[in-house]
Amino acid sequence: MSNHSLSNDALAPVADVERVFTGVSHASLWFSLGVGLLVMQVGAYLVPAMGTQDAMLAIVLGSLLGSGLLAWVAKIACDSGLSSAGLIHRVYGPSFARLPVLLNIVQLIGWTTFELVIMRDGTHAITQKAFGLDLSPLWTTVLWGGVLTLLMTGSMLTLVRRFVSRVGLPLVILSLLWLSWHFVGLAQQQGWAAFMARPGNGSMGMLSAMDLVMAMPVSWLPLVADYARHGRTGASTLRGTWLGYALANVWCYALGVLVASVSEPGTDLVTALLLAQGGLLALGLILLDELDNAYGDVYSGAMSSRSLHASWSLRRWGVTIAVLCTALALVLPMHSLEPFLLMLSSIFVPLYGVILGRLGTTSAPTGTTAKGMNVPAAAIWFVGIAVFHASAHWTPQWGSAIPSLIVTFALALATRSSNPEASPQ
């Protein structure tokens, strides 16, 4: 293990005293992080591209596969005690790792800003519908940003164990149950058999639909280790992460399909939820749950930033990033930047395909690479990025994530050295 990693707790294995997450803790955290308005909106994209039965099959298969990858990385992190930045350093070498770590920080700042915009717009829709108020976007953004900044001054371990598991999770589940009951009732009124037999227009194939479903769990790959390293055992971390996120992903994607199928054509998802009986309260609770998504992004961004500049504390980095994202949410046209953020996210699929190939089939080491750059690993990553975008352009029916993961995993596994410290140059 390098002296740099020993002096930087963002790169060194986590202390045993901080390994406090049980399988239930992981399941609660990742169910909560898996629920969101954005997930439901993406689920609605499957309608009318696919028929109901094909869409549901794609949702289940894509969720199991995507969440399984997330849980696999989580187990590696728990076994090694390493953060996301620590895993990247371990596989790619410290001198090269700064590039993907920096790109991860950029995407986390972007997604946090996007979450603040979602919360701002959702709050505006709720207050206008319920109270006829036209709140200023400035003050709504500052309000949510202030709450996020305040959360960053506390302990992540305490937040997950005391608030998310005991308070946030039950409220979110009740909200999803209520909305599901309402929209299943509408589908039954309109004819449940007709809903289940509804055909698609054929514009999306099964693999590309699975790719879309996998997009959400895969987007958390660069963050999962920062939480999983606090798990008590690798097995419970894997089970909790997989179960928690898969359930949330299946539920929210399926609810998105259901809402889009029974609502009037052209009705956006937030409006449809608000029009539901009791939808105002349920949407408000789901909107509040978006806050932990933003918190998850900022915490991981702070951990990665600390790996680059250890003289700042994790709390100082977290508060700084939260304030920066609040300011960006006030000035950036985030909805038009969403394609850029999705493109940026695509580089992390092959990045973690390499990590899984190198560390996922063996006992993960507990240190970081001593020095230098792992040239083969970096080259495979670049090949994976090329495969991802080539697949999207030439074979969209196969999806992008699955081909990129297969290629990078296979190449990384085939070129893995028996001595993990010997490969960097």
DSSP secondary structure, 87-104, as one string: HHHHHH-HHHHHHHHHHH
- Cα dist from 423 to 16, 91, 171, 417, whole Å: 29, 9, 49, 6
The set of residues, in sequence order, having a beta carbon less than 8 Å from that of 339 and lying 6+ positions away, is none
Least Cα distance to 351 among 409, 402, 294 occurs for 409
Evaluate whether the domain defined by 3-414 bears CATH number 3.30.40.230: no
Which residue is listed with tokens 């479903």?
Answer: 213
150 CB neighbour count, 10 Å cutoff: 11
Per-residue model confidence (pLDDT) at position 425: 40
Least Cα distance to 301 among 317, 290, 325 occurs for 317
Which residue is listed with tokens 């001595």?
Answer: 419
Per-residue model confidence (pLDDT) at position 79: 96
| Tokens coding 300 | 């991981």
Q: Is the peptide bond before 396 cis (omega within 30 degrees of 0)?
A: no
- The amino acid at residue 297 is D
* 3-state class (DSSP) for residue 21: strand
Per-residue model confidence (pLDDT) at position 314: 92
pLDDT tens track for 345-391 = 789 999 999 999 999 987 544 444 446 789 999 999 999 999 999 99
Element (H, E) at 148: helix 137-151
* 3-state class (DSSP) for residue 127: helix
8 Å CB contact between 80 and 13: yes
Cα–Cα dist 121/199, whole Å: 33
CA angle 226, 330, 44 (to 5 degrees): 65
- The amino acid at residue 177 is L
Per-residue model confidence (pLDDT) at position 78: 97
Least Cα distance to 335 among 8, 116, 52 occurs for 116
350 CB neighbour count, 10 Å cutoff: 27
Element (H, E) at 191: none
Q: What are the structural domain ranges in the chain? A: 3-414
pLDDT tens track for 294-315 = 999 999 999 999 999 999 999 9
Least Cα distance to 358 among 98, 89, 103, 112 occurs for 89
pLDDT string in tens for the chain (425-residue length):
444 444 688 899 999 999 999 999 999 999 999 998 888 988 998 999 999 999 999 999 999 999 999 999 999 999 999 999 999 999 999 999 999 999 999 999 998 998 899 889 888 888 887 777 888 888 999 999 999 999 999 888 888 777 777 777 888 898 899 999 999 999 999 999 999 999 999 889 899 899 889 988 998 999 999 999 999 999 999 999 999 999 999 999 999 999 999 988 878 887 888 777 777 788 888 877 888 889 999 999 999 999 999 999 999 999 999 999 999 999 987 666 657 766 777 899 999 999 999 999 875 444 444 467 899 999 999 999 999 999 988 988 888 888 999 999 999 999 987 444 434 34
Q: Could you please report the per-residue DSSP string of 322-348?
A: HHHHHHHHHHS-HHHHHHHHHHHHTTH
Judged by phi (left if over 0) then psi (alpha if -120 to 50, else beta), residue 143 lies in alpha
Cα–Cα dist 364/291, whole Å: 32
- pTM, two decimals, is 0.90
Per-residue model confidence (pLDDT) at position 193: 93
8 Å CB contact between 326 and 149: yes
8 Å CB contact between 16 and 227: no
The set of residues, in sequence order, having a beta carbon less than 8 Å from that of 377 and lying 6+ positions away, is 91, 92, 93, 354, 358, 412, 415, 423
Cα–Cα dist 140/161, whole Å: 28
Rounded to 5 degrees, φ, ψ at 315 are: -65, -45
Output DSSP code: residue 201. -
CA 191 to chain centre: 35
- The amino acid at residue 416 is R
